[in-house]
Amino acid sequence: MNVEDAVSELAPSGTLRAGINLSNFLLVSDRHSSGAPIGVAPDMAREIADRL
């Protein structure tokens, strides 16, 4: 699968939406003062979005 195919599958509207389980303390450890989640899952979602 090339990048264009991945983008059309994962973000057909041009915006990647990621669902994150905020109750899993192993993947989401805290929140910034802005309310944004901190941890592995949010970091992975941001990295995928940046690469697409």
Tens of pLDDT, residues 19-35: 999 999 999 999 999 99
Tally of domains in the chain: 1
Give me the phi and psi of 22, to 5 degrees please: -70, -10
**pLDDT at residue 46 in the model:** 92
Instruction: Tell me the per-residue pLDDT of 42-52, one tens digit each, with 9 for 90 and over.
Output: 999 999 889 88
Q: Give the global pTM.
A: 0.74
Structure tokens at 3: 């990048």
Q: Residue 6 and residue 24: Cα distance in Å, rounded?
A: 27
- Does residue 41 surpass a pLDDT of 90? yes
SS3 25: coil
Q: To the nearest whole number, what is the mean pLDDT of the chain?
A: 91
How far apart, in Å, are the Cα atoms of 20 and each of 27, 28, 46?
9, 8, 12
Domain that holds residue 26: 3-51
Nearest to 21 by CA among 44, 41, 48, 49: 41
